[in-house]
Amino acid sequence: MLLNKLKVFKSHGSQYIPDLDAVQLPEIFRGRPELSECDEETARELEKMCPTKAIAASPFSLDMGRCLFCGECARRAPQAIRFTNDYRIGASRREDLIVTPATRSIPFAHDAVRKEIPAMFAHALKLRQVSAGGDASVEMELNATGNVNFDFGRYGVEFVASPRHADGVVITGPVSRNMAEALQVCYDAVPDPKVVIVAGSEAVSGSLYAESTEVDRSFFERHQPDLWLPGAPTHPMVFIEAVMNLIGRRRRGEQTKK
């Protein structure tokens, strides 16, 4: 009996990623898109083909908050759009998710973060997750942030079972009509000051469901998210890197403080 366990233990080895800052995703991963100026006609064609209305022709831009990273636009016009494996794409301001031909990295606006967030949560941030029409993929990636590989708990960031234990909510999904009230109830139950994080492009904008009659996004008319995370789904590294910036333990683009 013990022998079996030792075998599992030995094969498992060490899976933990020692330095999360050094993580590189494979080349093929579709993260931050890069745009190049292109002719009007191509831009119009791209605008028309994108099913999530993420692309605008003039001025030419791509809104990651709507985009599902399907990559089809980059196949249609590789000279105009290219996806990089850069996962540093979470932002504290919604408008920072809009990529233009001038964008070569996504800024993280630390001055747009409410002061109490880094002051209170830098060393412990407990979150309550609410799935509201999410497709379970973002939810699984959020779960993965705490798994044996990523172990985000090492920085004190964890998901908890009750809003009463939480410092904020993480919302996934376009917010289905039938979840609108439960989301509000959950938010109200979190003690102040509280953080709101939207994870996944569906949560950021509604994406394909933005116009569905079965979706109710009125929550966002009342409450302003502190962190916007695009993706379909949001990769665990997108979440981890952006939350580290939100709580002030990293400054994107600068030498990391250990």
| CA proximity to 153, closest of 118, 127, 120, 176 | 127
Structural contact between residues 129 and 164, judged by C-beta atoms closer than 8 angstroms: no
Concatenated DSSP letters of 92-127: SSGGGGEE-TT-SS----GGGS-THHHHHHSS-EEE
Q: Which of 116/214 has CB closer to other proteins?
A: 214
Q: Which of residues 52-81 bind other proteins (CB under 8 A)?
A: 52, 68-72, 75
Contact letters for ligand SF4, residues 31-70 (x by CB under 6 A): -------------------x-x-xx------x----xxxx
Q: Which residues contact 28 (CB under 8 A, 6 or more apart)?
A: 85
| CA proximity to 125, closest of 149, 156, 91, 153 | 156
Q: Which of residues 197-256 bind other proteins (CB under 8 A)?
A: 202, 208-209, 212-215, 232-233, 235
- Choose the contact partner of 165 out of ligand SF4, other proteins, none; CB within 5 to 8 A by kind: none
Cα separations (Å) of 194 from 121, 126, 197, 223, 258? 10, 10, 10, 11, 27
- Choose the contact partner of 55 out of other proteins, ligand SF4, none; CB within 5 to 8 A by kind: ligand SF4
Q: Which of 99/190 has CB closer to ligand SF4?
A: 99
Q: Which residues contact 72 (CB under 8 A, 6 or more apart)?
A: 49, 50
- Choose the contact partner of 62 out of other proteins, ligand SF4, none; CB within 5 to 8 A by kind: ligand SF4
C-alpha 199/C-alpha 10 separation (Å) is 36
Residue in 23, 57, 122, 144 binding other proteins, rule: CB under 8 A: 144
| CA proximity to 127, closest of 187, 87, 217, 52 | 187
Residue in 33, 90, 174, 225 binding other proteins, rule: CB under 8 A: 174
Q: Which of 202/216 has CB closer to ligand SF4?
A: 202
Q: Which of 107/180 has CB closer to other proteins?
A: 180
C-alpha 59/C-alpha 161 separation (Å) is 45
User: Where on the chain is the footprint of other proteins (CB under 8 A)?
Assistant: 1, 4-5, 7-9, 11-12, 15, 26, 28-30, 49, 51-52, 68-72, 75, 83, 129-144, 147-149, 159, 161-162, 173-174, 176-179, 181-182, 186, 202, 208-209, 212-215, 232-233, 235
